[in-house]
Amino acid sequence: MSASFTSLQYSTGIRSCISLLSLETVQAKRYVLIQVEPFLQSFFICYLFLVSGKTILEKMLLSVTVFLMLMPCSWGENPAVQVILTNKGLQYGKHVGTGWVQDKLKQITLPDISGSVNIFIGEVHYTLSGVTIKKCDLPEPNVEFFKSIGLNTSITGLSFAASGEWSTRFGVIHDGGSFDMAIFNIGLISYVKLRNDAKGHLFATSIGCDASVGDVILNFYGGASIIFKPFIKYFKGHILRKIQEAICPAVRTAIMELDLHLLTMNVSYNVNEVLSLDVPLSGLPVIGASNLQLGFKGEFYSIKTHKEPPFEPQKFILPAQAGYMLSVGMSEFTLNSASYGYFSAGELHVLINDSMIPPGIPFHLNTSSMGNLIPQLPKMFPGLMMNLNVYAREAPLFSFQPGVTTLGVKASVKASAIEPNGTQVPLFTLNIDLSASFKMVIGKGKLMGSMAVDNITLSLASSEIGDFKVDPLETLMKTAVRLAQMKVNLILGKGIVLPRMKYVQLVNTVLKMDKGFVAVFSDVETLQTDRNDYI
């Protein structure tokens, strides 16, 4: 008996059923966790504001995306973002992936099987076509971390039933009918190695595979199917052997497809028109007996200048919490690199004029109103409107401490009078130094917390109108800051909805501030639709 049914043809058709190492385990991980595009993933931190004469809620609401590619690092450089996948998370991904594959199996049509059988009076050419899977008994595989290597996956007892049409040709005689086929006790063990390339992509490689098939049962119906019955034992041995030979190539092909996807993923993203985010892996994945750790560069840049900040990421140790599926740690470096990106791009400034003062406030931005605070001003420039150019002198700096985040802002306010012809006359420059602290928690899918202003000082940096006391201005500014604080606390009290990935959301989430980094510990939950209670 000869046949044109090859291992490559068959592996193409049954890949989703029998390449469970990757298409059920690695792809399940992709489905549950790598919907990174993450990149797991961003959460909102806070507002930077600069104040002078009125409330200003500044431009900076920073989004930090957590990219969950799953594995982590023996650090080549200190990673600013770390991710740990625990065994609990791996097993959940395996469970979800098994159900996902089972649902997809009935959509699969296998390749045609053709060949010929010698029945003593000549050769009968046959074709088995339209082979579809009717039922699949898909036990959950055993998936484990393979220490220092990657993943070890094994499955036993996979069985499925299929049906299709048969046709024969013997000279000018044609015949046909239907058939049923059952394949029992498919077994598979496979090993996947996880590494990173020079550009910081994660890649996966099959380094071992072994497969077996227990039994195949065939039944033919219709036409002259009785002719086939004496030769079923030949069909059975032939098909069993071809299926067994096709399993590992199917696994390797699926892993190669996953690897191609990983290698083509972006490791740098434009967050908005001002900032880009670099998130390549910073070193080799670290694979232990009970978790995998991944480190990312996690640095924001100004798209305009792409300047490195004058500080470097510091090492921090993210504790693995076995009770949660995921642990994510972000260094204060990531937040400060975003702040520096805005600063170096010249974005941290605002021009305030009289039209921006809320109605009902008995104060106007002109030399007459300001004369109550600076007596010589209306005498030197009577009846003129004014504006205030508020800008950051340095990039604002965040600091993570146990239980609290602090923010330091160094800003300046340059005041000018506006002549009737539009000419701006510089008057004076004030320096503002402000420190604030934030306490944050995560609950009900939201980032919530409170803000407190710890200290604020005002000083005269330069003056074109002579010296004057800044105490009255400082009192006014502190009043404006208190109003700003009330607004920020109102926002933080209601909470900021955390973005989520398309198919999964974080549940049972805990946020913890520590020295130099913030940690988020969480489980994940798959979504049946693209909607949830929070969006």
Evaluate whether the domain defined by 42-68+298-525 bears CATH number 3.15.20.10: yes
How high is the pLDDT of residue 126? 79
How high is the pLDDT of residue 320? 85
Of 279, 282, 339, 280, the closest CA to residue 307 belongs to 339
- With a CB cutoff of 8 Å and minimum separation 6, the contacts of 160 are 17, 105, 133, 134, 135, 136, 137, 138, 182, 183
How high is the pLDDT of residue 389? 97
Residue in the block written with tokens 């899977």: 133
How high is the pLDDT of residue 520? 95
Superfamily of domain 2-34+88-263: Bactericidal permeability-increasing protein; domain 1 (3.15.10.10)
How high is the pLDDT of residue 74? 37
How high is the pLDDT of residue 228? 63
How high is the pLDDT of residue 421? 94
| φ and ψ at residue 474, rounded to 5 degrees | -65, -40
Domain boundaries, the chain: 2-34+88-263, 42-68+298-525
pTM: 0.77
Hey, what are 94's tokens?
A: 């395996």
The series of mean pLDDT values per 10 residues for the chain, 535 residues long, is 40 39 36 31 27 32 34 59 95 87 74 72 79 88 92 92 87 85 92 92 92 90 72 72 85 90 91 95 93 95 94 93 94 97 96 88 89 94 96 97 96 96 96 96 90 95 95 90 92 87 86 96 80 39
Q: How far apart are CA 65 and CA 78, in angstroms?
A: 18
Q: Is 422 exposed, middle or buried (0-12, 13-18, 19+ CB in 10 A)?
A: exposed
How high is the pLDDT of residue 221? 87
Q: At what angle do helices 87-105 and 7-18 cross, to 10 degrees?
A: 120
- With a CB cutoff of 8 Å and minimum separation 6, the contacts of 486 are none
How high is the pLDDT of residue 3? 41
